[in-house]
Amino acid sequence: MRILGIETSCDETGIAIYDSEAGLIGHSLFSQIDLHTAYGGVVPELASRDHVRRILPLIQETLDKSGSTLSDLDAIAYTAGPGLMGALLVGTAVGRSLAYSLSIPAVGVHHMEAHLLAPMLEESVPDYPFLALLVSGGHTLLVKVVDFGVYEMLGESVDDAAGEAFDKTAKLLGLPYPGGPHLSALAEKGDSKRFRFPRPMTDRPGLDFSFSGLKTYALNTVTSESNDEQTRADIARAFVDAVVDTFVIKCRRAIEQTGIKQLVVAGGVSANTQLREGLQGLMRQVSGEVFFPKLEFCTDNGAMIAYAGYLRLQAGQKEQMQFQAKPRWSITEL
Ligand code: KG4
Ligand code: ZN
């Protein structure tokens, strides 16, 4: 079975083809970073228009890369939500109409479920049940994955998502959009001992997160200190240390609470070097195992959509003729 995956939930047009025998046989990505940089963040209307421009040439490019034609496709998977409404509608409309014209099934995929499954494209994969820490620009979720499609929410962010906190803190340190990777690089040059930021919501029971206070903490530190390069690096370091420590504390708590020692970490922020090191250290300590997607599949991509769509079709998911893009959609509703 050959399935085309289409991702257009935010600022990346991602297309891929997953083959049930051969695995991932082609993928392409167009990132809109240059388009949004001037505005310091994603402009939804510009994002939608750019998806319209890119999507068909990118589908053709991916078919060519994989040595396939449209008639080789057995199904189409597209991101149905959560995400930006206009952006989602582009992938939804193209995916559904292309599938209709080819008389093949189309399946709407949950973006966060796709992130969660991205590590399954690697050689070593976890067994169910496992824990999943999903850290993206829009969501921060700690989930117990009982089985494929069976998700119990253990904790989530009560305010900013982890990626959002990275991006906002990066912005106030004068770094370009999207700030996550830039902030991480700057933190590498920083001194861990100079500033200590709080570890939000770790002093009380529970597995929820809060990151908006860290951004304010960073802002207050920026305002009260001299604005030299080393100070900015030290602030970046304090921010990253606080985020990583918070995730380590909460993941340790989730492991103790559930007795599950396999942890999947996915979503854009799972590309973060310091976070990867922190969680690898934790899983060594508890004699557990941690699984990440490969770097290019941490951030948004079509491969995870094609793969999640494949699993959904295997599980018998069928779509009605009417369809809906869902900007807000909890993973626990699946
Ligand atoms: O999953 P993703 O591509 O899009 C959403 O579903 O939101 O995540 C994007 C987020 C952005 O906030 C970006 O700054 C962050 O992931 N990110 C990182 C790194 N790479 C991407 N944050 C920290 N360190 C990184 N290396
Ligand atoms: Zn994402």
Other Cβ atoms less than 10 A from the Cβ of 41: the count is 16
Is residue 289 within 8 Å of residue 56, measured between CB atoms?
no
- What percent of the chain stands above pLDDT 70? 100
Min mean pLDDT across 79-83, 189-193, 316-320 is at 316-320
Residue 263, H or E segment: strand 262-266
Check pocket membership of 83 for ligand 1, CB cut-off 6 A. Answer: no
Domains 2-116+297-333 and 126-292 share a fold: yes
| Band of pLDDT at residue 324, cut at 50, 70 and 90 | confident
Of 134, 96, 128, 130, residue with least CA distance to 114: 134
Instruction: Give pLDDT tens digits for 262-307.
Output: 999 999 999 999 999 999 999 999 999 999 999 999 999 999 999 9
Check pocket membership of 141 for ligand 1, CB cut-off 6 A. Answer: no
Determine the average pLDDT of the residues in 1-6: 98
| Band of pLDDT at residue 230, cut at 50, 70 and 90 | very high
Residue 4, H or E segment: strand 2-7
Distance from first CA to last CA of the chain, Å, rounded? 23
Which of 29, 134, 135, 166 for mutating ligand 1's site (highest number of atoms within 8 Å of CB)?
Answer: 166
For the cut 80, the answer to whether the pLDDT of residue 322 exceeds it is no
Average pLDDT across the chain, whole number: 97
Could you tell me which residues come within 8 angstroms of residue 310 by beta carbon, excluding any fewer than 6 positions away? 1, 3, 18, 20, 75, 77
Check pocket membership of 82 for ligand 1, CB cut-off 6 A. Answer: no
Min mean pLDDT across 37-41, 107-111, 132-136, 160-164 is at 37-41
| Band of pLDDT at residue 198, cut at 50, 70 and 90 | very high
Angle 163-248-129 from CA coordinates, rounded to 5°: 90
Angle 210-116-269 from CA coordinates, rounded to 5°: 50
C-alpha separations of 70 from 4, 76, 176 in Å: 9, 11, 39
Q: Is 201 left (phi over 0), alpha (psi -120 to 50) or beta?
A: left
**Nearest-ligand number for the alpha carbon of 138:** 1
SS (H, E, C) 160-176: CCHHHHHHHHHHHCCCC
| Band of pLDDT at residue 318, cut at 50, 70 and 90 | confident
Instruction: Give pLDDT tens digits for 31-65.
Output: 999 999 999 999 999 999 999 999 999 999 999 99
pLDDT of residue 323: 80
Determine the average pLDDT of the residues in 159-163: 97
pTM greater than the 0.85 cutoff: yes
Q: In this structure, what DSSP letter does residue 127 have?
A: P
Which of 11, 84, 269, 277 for mutating ligand 1's site (highest number of atoms within 8 Å of CB)?
Answer: 269
| Band of pLDDT at residue 320, cut at 50, 70 and 90 | confident
Check pocket membership of 91 for ligand 1, CB cut-off 6 A. Answer: no
For the cut 80, the answer to whether the pLDDT of residue 309 exceeds it is yes
Determine the average pLDDT of the residues in 5-31: 98
For the CA of 170, the closest atom of ligand 1 is: 14
CATH 3.10.150.10 fits 2-116+297-333, yes or no: no
For the cut 80, the answer to whether the pLDDT of residue 321 exceeds it is no
> Which sequence spans correspond to the domains of the chain?
2-116+297-333, 126-292
The residue behind tokens 């582009």 is 90
For the CA of 83, the closest atom of ligand 1 is: 6
| Band of pLDDT at residue 170, cut at 50, 70 and 90 | very high
**Nearest-ligand number for the alpha carbon of 164:** 1
Q: Per CATH, the architecture of 126-292 is what? A: 2-Layer Sandwich (3.30)
Distance of CA 246 from the midpoint of ligand 1 (Å): 17
